[in-house]
């Protein structure tokens, strides 16, 4: 059951006649991607190949013309070490002549319905216009952050040795899986995510693995003005220092280096001084399709707790109770039995669930109501690192 924002759990807009893409649709999809995102034809064709035609969904207009397309990727987001089944709605492209006609909301709703049928508890996306997607129950949920450092400012002293490995070396995926366990929100990557990380120009792309699998890097060396780290992992502060020192070897050619990182970033923490900056930041949005399943699947930082949530409009809330005993999670319909309880507006629930904002902060905005003690309990229940993702999907 998807949380909506206007007193109903599923939007009742006109039904979008969504359908999967086929090979004959590829040229029209490529054109839509070019018009929406400035992709070259080569890049559009590459994206279609990377995500697979089977992941693409279409809306057709007059004469069976493709008016909108998007990728629907089965995945999961990791919260406190546990995967929450999810669907990424990626690269929503609407034909220029069809924009402003209200296609986006029913199209996204149709993809959410399909995702829920396939077992997704949440759906996530990047939004060019947030108000549109908020109509479908999406809300701010996490960060995408790109840091930039001057290579001359990187430390040079490190004993960590690196070897060049194949881009699809299985140790890279294994170490990435370890990385997800200490953060919040990172994707459990599907093949489409890995394909996009390894996209062209492959002649300027290389992967490096540190001794003892302590760290890895996937580097894009195709732009002499800036070295791009497409993906990375460090298993310790010493490994983070080693990664920065390895990147310092490129200073004679590249004046700067960029990487995706978290709000509390390991590479920034390993920088010896100034010399880095925030190059880009935006937020991804989430919609909770099945609140009970989402709460049941995520991990928590407490061993024992009990809290009831009244989610949505005061007249018709969804009432759920979370009980954790010795780390085991049970989520059930709240029965009215005396229990710590807070009332949460639907947009606030999304932010609490991912850890994007705390219940205490949202209470200041009037989006959470409850006693101070119960609100603090909610803060403790959903505590953890700030959510982020390591790529733009």
224 and 317 belong to one structural domain: no
On whether both 274 and 149 belong to a single domain, the answer is yes
Domain range holding 353?
A: 300-381
Helices vs strands, H then E, count in the chain = 12, 18
User: Final residue of a domain: which of 93, 117, 141?
Assistant: 141
> Is-contact 282 263, C-beta < 8 A?
no
* Residue 3, domain member (yes or no): no
- 8 belongs to a structural domain: no
pLDDT score for 22:
95
Q: Are residues 227 and 305 in the same domain?
A: no
Contact of 24 with 35, CB cutoff 8 Å? no
Kindly report the CATH number assigned to the domain that includes residue 317. Answer: 3.30.1050.10
pLDDT tens digits for 283-312?
999 999 999 999 999 999 999 999 999 999
Cβ-Cβ contacts under 8 Å for 106 (sequence gap 6 or more)? 11, 13, 14, 15, 16
pLDDT for 13 beyond 60: no
165 in Cβ contact with 209 (< 8 Å): yes
Structural domain contains residue 392? no
Among 141, 170, 201, which residue terminates a domain?
Answer: 141
Separation in Å, CA 163 to CA 160, 170, 212, 216, 217: 10, 14, 11, 9, 10
Residues 150 and 122 in one domain: no
- Mean pLDDT of the residues in the chain: 93
Query: Does residue 107 sit in the same domain as residue 199?
Result: no
pLDDT at 3: 55
In a domain, 318, yes or no: yes
Tell me the C-alpha distance between 214 and 50, whole Å: 29
For the chain, what's the residue count?
393
Distance in angstroms (rounded) separating the CA atoms of residues 66 and 51: 18
Q: Is residue 6 part of a domain?
A: no
Residues 109 and 176 in one domain: no
pLDDT digits (tens, 9 = 90+) for 86-131: 999 999 999 999 999 999 999 999 999 999 999 999 999 999 889 9
Same domain? For 152 and 65 the reply is: no
The reply to whether 133 and 175 lie within a common domain is no
What CATH number is given to the structural domain containing 151?
Answer: 3.40.630.30
Which of 117, 141, 165 marks a domain boundary? 141
Beta strands per DSSP E along 312-369: 318-325, 328-333, 341-344, 368-369
CB 38 within 8 A of CB 57: no
Whether 375 maps to a domain, the answer reads yes
- Asked if the structure places residue 2 within a domain, the reply is no
Three-state SS at 178: helix
pLDDT 10s digits, 142-192: 999 999 999 999 998 888 999 999 999 999 999 999 999 999 999 999 999
Structurally, the chain folds into a number of domains equal to 3
Which residues partner with 329 through β-bridges?
A: 324
Positive or negative torsion for Cα 118, 319, 367, 355? negative
Is the same domain home to 152 and 268? yes
My answer on whether 210 and 119 are in the same domain is no
**Mean pLDDT over residues 354-368, rounded?**
98
| 252 and 268 co-located in one domain | yes
Listed residue (225, 173, 172, 193) closest to 87, CA to CA: 193
- Indicate the pTM of the whole model: 0.92
Task: Indicate the pLDDT class of residue 5, thresholds 50, 70 and 90.
Answer: very low
Question: Are 126 and 179 in a shared domain?
Answer: no
- 174 belongs to a structural domain: yes
Q: State pLDDT tens for residues 208-219.
A: 999 999 999 999
Residue carrying the six token digits 């990487």: 259
CA distance 132 to 11: 13
């Amino acid at each position: 059951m998807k949380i909506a924002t206007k007193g109903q759990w599923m939007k009742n807009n006109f039904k979008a006649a969504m359908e999967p893409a086929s090979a004959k649709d590829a040229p029209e999809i490529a054109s839509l991607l070019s018009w929406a995102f400035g992709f070259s034809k080569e890049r559009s064709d590459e994206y279609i190949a990377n995500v697979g035609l089977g992941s693409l969904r279409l809306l057709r207009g007059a004469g069976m013309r493709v008016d909108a397309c998007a990728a629907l990727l089965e995945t999961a987001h990791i919260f406190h070490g546990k995967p929450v089944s999810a669907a990424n709605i990626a690269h929503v492209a609407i034909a220029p002549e069809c924009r402003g006609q209200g296609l986006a909301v029913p199209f996204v709703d149709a993809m959410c319905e399909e995702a829920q049928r396939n077992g997704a508890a949440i759906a996530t996306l990047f939004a060019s216009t947030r108000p549109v997607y908020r109509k479908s129950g999406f809300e701010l949920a996490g960060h995408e952050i790109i840091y930039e450092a001057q290579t001359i400012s990187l430390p040079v002293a490190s004993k960590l040795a690196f070897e060049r490995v194949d881009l699809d070396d299985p140790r890279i995926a294994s170490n990435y899986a370890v990385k997800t366990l200490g953060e919040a929100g990172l994707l459990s990557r599907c093949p489409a995510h890995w394909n996009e990380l390894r996209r062209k120009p492959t002649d300027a792309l290389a992967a490096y693995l540190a001794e003892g699998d302590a760290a890895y890097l996937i580097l894009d060396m195709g732009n002499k003005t800036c070295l791009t780290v497409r993906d990375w992992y460090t298993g310790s502060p010493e490994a983070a220092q080693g990664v920065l020192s390895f990147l310092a070897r490129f200073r004679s050619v590249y004046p700067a280096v960029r990487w995706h990182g978290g709000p509390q970033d390991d590479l920034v923490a390993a920088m010896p001084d100034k010399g880095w900056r925030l190059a880009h930041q935006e937020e991804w949005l989430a919609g909770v399709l099945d609140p009970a399943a989402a709460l049941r699947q995520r991990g928590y930082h407490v061993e024992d707790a009990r809290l009831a949530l009244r989610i949505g409009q005061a007249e018709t809330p969804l009432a759920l109770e979370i009980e954790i005993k010795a780390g085991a999670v049970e989520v059930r319909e709240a029965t009215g039995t005396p229990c710590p309880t807070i009332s949460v507006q639907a947009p606030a629930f999304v932010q609490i669930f991912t850890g994007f904002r705390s219940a205490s902060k949202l209470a200041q905005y009037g989006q959470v109501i409850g006693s101070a003690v119960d609100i603090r309990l909610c803060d403790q229940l959903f505590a953890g690192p700030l959510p982020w993702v390591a790529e733009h999907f």
